[in-house]
Amino acid sequence: MSKPDRKGDVDLESDRWCIFQGMPYVMDSAGPIEIRQSVGETIIIAERLAVPRHIYFKLDERPSSDVYDFTPVGLSTGQREGDSLVVTTDMFTAGLGLDGAPRTEKAKLVERFNVSKNGKELVVASTWTDPDVYKEPYRYSWTYERIPENYTASPNYCDPRANGVGNYPPGEDPRPGKSGN
C-alpha cells in the first residue's frame, strides 16, 4: 500500500479533488467548527471540505454494519455525563487518521467535550482505539477558543478543475496532453 500524499491529517489528493474528509480532519484542519444542539442531535460542522458530524442522542439502537454504510465521520451517539458530553463513534471508513496514521474500519473514538473558562474555551479529550493501528489507546486533548456570536461562517467552494484535476466534457479537456492538446 503506498503512503498517502498528506499534510498532517489532510489527504492532499482528496483535497485537490475537493472530496469531503472526515475524522479527525473535521475537528482539526477544516477551519473553525460550529456546534449546534437540539433535543435529538448535536451537529458539528466545519467550514472547509468537511463531512458534517451528527451526534445522536435518541437512537433506539445503533444500526448494524449490514445496513449502515461506513463513512469518514462514522456514526456518533452521545450522552451527557454531568457537565460533559461523551460521544462514541465507530463505523469509520478506512482513511487518513491522526498525523497520517491509518484510520481503519475497526477504529473507535470516544470524545469528552467540556467547556471551561466561563464558556470561553472548549476542551475535547479524544481516545482512539484500533487494534490494527495502535498497541494501546491513543489519547490527546484539543482546546478551542470561542468565536463571538456575530461571526459569519466563511463560504467555501471547491471545484477540482481549479486545482488542475477534475472532469471535462468529452474532447474538451484544456489541460496539456488531454483531448489532443
Other residues' Cβ atoms within 10 Å of the Cβ of residue 177: 7
36 binds other proteins (CB under 8 A): yes
138 binds other proteins (CB under 8 A): no
25 binds other proteins (CB under 8 A): no
Q: Which is nearer to other proteins, 52 or 131 (CB)?
A: 52
52 binds other proteins (CB under 8 A): yes
Query: Buried b / exposed e across 142-171, counting CB within 10 Å, b at 16+?
Result: eebeeeeeeeeeeeeeeeeeeeeeeeeeee
Say how far residue 109 (Cα) sits from the centre of its chain. Answer: 12
Which helix or strand (DSSP H or E) is residue 84 part of? strand 84-90
161 binds other proteins (CB under 8 A): yes
Cell numbers representing residue 126 in the block: 479524544
169 binds other proteins (CB under 8 A): yes
Contacting other proteins (CB under 8 A), which of 2, 64, 66, 119? 119
What's the min distance (Å) between Cβ of 66 and other proteins?
14
Separation between Cα atoms, residue 128 and residue 134, nearest integer Å: 8
66 binds other proteins (CB under 8 A): no
What's the min distance (Å) between Cβ of 161 and other proteins?
6
Contacting other proteins (CB under 8 A), which of 1, 2, 135, 155? 155
98 - beta bridge partners? none
Those residues with Cβ within 8 angstroms of residue 41's Cβ, 6 or more apart along the chain or in another chain: 54, 55, 56, 57, 58
Cell numbers representing residue 3 in the block: 503512503
- Is the alpha carbon torsion for 136, 132, 100, 10 positive or negative? negative
Contacting other proteins (CB under 8 A), which of 23, 85, 87, 96? 85
Contacting other proteins (CB under 8 A), which of 1, 2, 38, 164? 38
- How many CA atoms lie within 13 Å of 50's alpha carbon, on the beta-carbon side? 25
User: Contact positions toward other proteins, by CB under 8 A?
Assistant: 17-20, 27-28, 31-43, 45, 51-52, 54, 56-60, 63, 68-69, 71-73, 75, 80, 82-83, 85, 115, 119, 122, 142-147, 149, 151-153, 155-157, 159-161, 165-172
